[in-house]
């Protein structure tokens, strides 16, 4: 599988900063309604996730500078990239996702698969050990 249709900076960002497809979909959800207060229940309903998972995604987005706590709604967040550069990158990622959904999701999964294989390899019994 080749990812040449994806810009290098977008590919690099996805590989280094997007841990899962639900994480990316949460970014896109908040980006789609940037002024709306998003809590775990609302994200869970829209992305078909368990509420605790959605809450972890929102916390992760806040930690990454993608979202910030909503000023008027407790336990809710709004889309608010910390820097103009991050906002620009997220726009590029959203555009790439819209144009190359399969390639972007495959790229995210390739990263996850690679890490899972590395973890599994750490437990492989070797004859020389």
pLDDT in tens, 52-104: 999 999 999 999 999 999 999 999 999 999 999 999 999 999 999 999 999 99
The whole-chain average pLDDT of the chain stands at 88
Q: What residues contact 53, with CB distance under 8 A and at least 6 apart? A: 22, 44
Instruction: Report which DSSP code applies to 82.
Output: S
Tokens linked to 28: 């896109």
40 and 67 Cβ atoms separated by less than 8 Å? no
Among 1-5, 14-18, 21-25, 37-41, the minimum mean pLDDT is found in 1-5
Distance between CA 121 and CA 109 in Å, rounded?
Answer: 18
């Amino acid at each position: 599988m080749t990812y040449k249709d994806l810009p290098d900076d977008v590919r690099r960002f996805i590989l280094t900063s997007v841990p899962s497809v639900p994480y990316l979909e949460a970014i896109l959800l908040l980006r789609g309604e940037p002024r709306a207060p998003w809590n775990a229940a609302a994200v869970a309903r829209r992305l078909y996730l368990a509420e605790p998972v959605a809450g972890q995604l929102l916390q992760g987005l806040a930690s990454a500078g993608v979202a910030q706590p909503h000023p008027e709604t407790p336990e809710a967040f709004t889309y608010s990239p910390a820097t103009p550069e991050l906002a620009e990158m997220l726009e590029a990622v959203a555009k790439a996702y819209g144009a190359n959904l399969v390639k972007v999701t495959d790229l995210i999964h390739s990263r996850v698969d690679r890490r899972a294989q590395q973890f599994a390899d750490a437990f492989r019994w070797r004859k020389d050990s």
